[in-house]
């Protein structure tokens, strides 16, 4: 295909870093989300989405969006039907760049509540001539439309996504024919049946845990929700033990991405993640565990205290140190700590102690424009 190549060395490196994750043992949605996030971030797109067709190609099996907050996602309410501009990418699979998506004759219209979008760049997601879906970005910030260079980059991400999907489908097929060990079967049953149902019950309880319920009844429902959450967490960790008896854990980058994905409901929006330097090879296992723990605490804090609309995680390694930076644009630690007079506050103290025990440090900062920045750094 007569596509341009990605020329910018910095972008090439980031692209390569992302594509190398195909090797990591990541679940498909986690990997695809990372690809969409990187594609958005590298082209300055405000929104990005990736749709994967189901097997009979009548609808979408996966739909991953980046850039929408929870309220916007809820307002949209349903997945795109594959009509209009998006459908076109599947019927006629080649890149499509538009200055204004509304001008396109094939546009079927946005549902009510959909954020206003103008510039559009869509490319098919395919591997070995099989079209699996599409990847599209909208609203290039500060520009009237996406560039040819953006297109080259997004085509590359879409190809990587195509391979990921193809891998996953092949893997599923192999799993279907393989005789599963009991361990794996139990782990899967627990995950698919039990957790999903507990989750559904928790959700429906959340729906009623508000007025007109009051007093003791409300308290009891809220306690039940917390208990369910705990139960789910316990089952998850048993599943993890069941299914991780032999295989080595995923690498640090894969763990971080999976964690950030898991915490999305806690944080309430997509957190951008980036890695610099030999994160995978230079960080020893115990330190990697501390890092994952630290990210979990810091992002939970962002979700619970910051009232932020954006946050980022940066993990940087050189030969001597590994540095973690978690930044949000929320109301800042000072403002938030005025909220409460008593209670926990063990989270940050614990992180500081961990860093110091490893010969490092933790630094809290309030950046110029507000928000909170936490730097956690230890020698390796
Ligand atoms: N990202 C953040 N934005 C705003 N405030 C924060 C943030 N992280 C922590 N805080 C404030 O610092 C306090 C201490 O956090 P932490 O030690 O984790 O305790 P806890 O989360 O149990 O309250 C929090 O109660 C909150 O007031
Ligand atoms: Mg905390």
Cβ(305) to ligand 1 under 6 A? yes
Q: What is the number of alpha carbons within 13 Å of residue 334 lying toward its C-beta?
A: 5
Gap between the Cα atoms of 374 and 355, Å rounded:
12
Atom of ligand 1 nearest to the CA of 330: 3
Q: How far is CA 360 from the centre of its chain?
A: 29
Distance in Å, CA 142 to ligand 1 centroid: 34
Q: Which CATH architecture has domain 9-177?
A: 2-Layer Sandwich (3.30)
Where does residue 312 rank: exposed (0-12), middle (13-18), buried (19+ CB within 10 A)?
middle
Would you put residue 232 in left (φ > 0), alpha (ψ -120 to 50) or beta? alpha
Cβ(87) to ligand 1 under 6 A? no
Asked if 131 contacts 90 with a C-beta cutoff of 8 angstroms, the reply is: yes
The first and second tokens of residue 67, run together, are: 């850039």
Q: Do 9-177 and 252-379 agree at the fold level?
A: no
3-state DSSP assignment of residue 282: helix
What is the per-residue pLDDT for 341?
43
What is Dmax (Cα atoms) for the chain?
Answer: 68
What is the per-residue pLDDT for 175?
58
What is the per-residue pLDDT for 246?
42
What is the per-residue pLDDT for 58?
75
What is the per-residue pLDDT for 86?
62
User: Following DSSP, what letter does each residue of 226-262 receive, concatenated?
Assistant: HHHHHHHHHHHHHHHHHHTSSSPPPPHHHHHHHHHHH
Q: Is the pTM of this model over 0.75?
A: no
Gap between the Cα atoms of 324 and 313, Å rounded:
7
Distance in Å, CA 120 to ligand 1 centroid: 39
Strands (E), the chain: 45-53, 60-66, 96-98, 120-127, 130-140, 272-276, 311-317, 321-328, 361-365, 372-379
User: Following DSSP, what letter does each residue of 86-115 receive, concatenated?
Assistant: HHHHHHS-S-EEES-GGG-TT---PPTTPP
Distance in Å, CA 337 to ligand 1 centroid: 7
Q: Which CATH architecture has domain 252-379?
A: 2-Layer Sandwich (3.30)
Nearest CA to ligand 1 atom 11: 333
What is the per-residue pLDDT for 180?
47
What is the per-residue pLDDT for 77?
59
10-residue stretch averages of pLDDT, the chain, 380 residues long? 67 81 82 95 94 81 85 67 61 86 66 76 87 92 94 91 85 58 64 72 75 77 80 74 54 91 91 89 90 94 94 94 97 70 67 93 92 96
Cβ(159) to ligand 1 under 6 A? no
Distance in Å, CA 289 to ligand 1 centroid: 21
Domain ranges of the chain: 9-177, 182-243, 252-379
């Amino acid at each position: 295909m007569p596509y341009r190549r990605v020329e910018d060395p910095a972008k090439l490196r980031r692209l390569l870093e992302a594509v190398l994750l195909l090797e990591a043992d990541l679940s498909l949605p986690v990997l695809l989300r990372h690809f969409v996030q990187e594609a958005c971030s590298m082209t300055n797109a405000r929104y990005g989405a990736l749709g994967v067709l189901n097997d009979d190609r009548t609808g979408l099996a996966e739909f991953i969006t980046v850039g929408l907050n929870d309220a916007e996602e809820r307002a949209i309410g349903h997945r795109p039907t594959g009509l209009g501009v998006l459908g076109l990418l599947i019927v006629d699979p080649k890149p499509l760049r538009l200055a204004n998506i509304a001008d396109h004759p094939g546009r079927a219209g946005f549902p009510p509540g959909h954020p206003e979008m103008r510039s559009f760049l869509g490319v098919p997601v395919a591997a070995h001539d099989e079209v699996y879906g599409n990847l599209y970005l909208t609203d290039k910030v500060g520009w009237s439309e996406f560039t040819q260079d953006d297109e080259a980059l997004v085509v590359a991400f879409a190809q990587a996504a195509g391979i990921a999907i193809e891998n996953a489908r092949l893997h599923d097929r192999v799993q279907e024919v393989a005789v599963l060990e009991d361990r794996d079967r139990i782990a899967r049953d627990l995950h698919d049946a039990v957790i999903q149902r507990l989750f559904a019950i928790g959700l429906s309880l959340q729906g009623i845990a508000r007025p007109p319920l009051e007093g003791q009844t409300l308290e009891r429902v809220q306690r039940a929700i917390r208990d369910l959450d705990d139960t789910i967490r316990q089952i998850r960790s048993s599943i993890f033990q069941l299914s991780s008896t032999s295989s080595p854990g995923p690498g640090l980058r894969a763990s971080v991405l999976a964690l950030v994905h898991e915490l999305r409901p806690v944080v309430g929006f997509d957190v951008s993640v980036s890695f610099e330097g030999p994160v995978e090879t230079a960080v020893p296992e115990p330190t990697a565990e501390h890092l994952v723990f630290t990210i979990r605490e810091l992002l939970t804090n962002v979700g619970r205290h910051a009232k932020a609309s954006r946050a980022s995680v940066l993990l940087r390694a050189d030969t001597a140190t590994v540095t973690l930076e978690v930044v949000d644009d929320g109301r800042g630690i000072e403002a938030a700590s005025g909220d409460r007079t008593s209670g926990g506050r063990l989270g940050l103290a614990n992180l500081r102690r961990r860093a110091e025990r490893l010969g490092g440090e933790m630094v809290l900062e309030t950046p110029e424009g507000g928000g909170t920045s936490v730097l956690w750094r230890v020698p390796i």
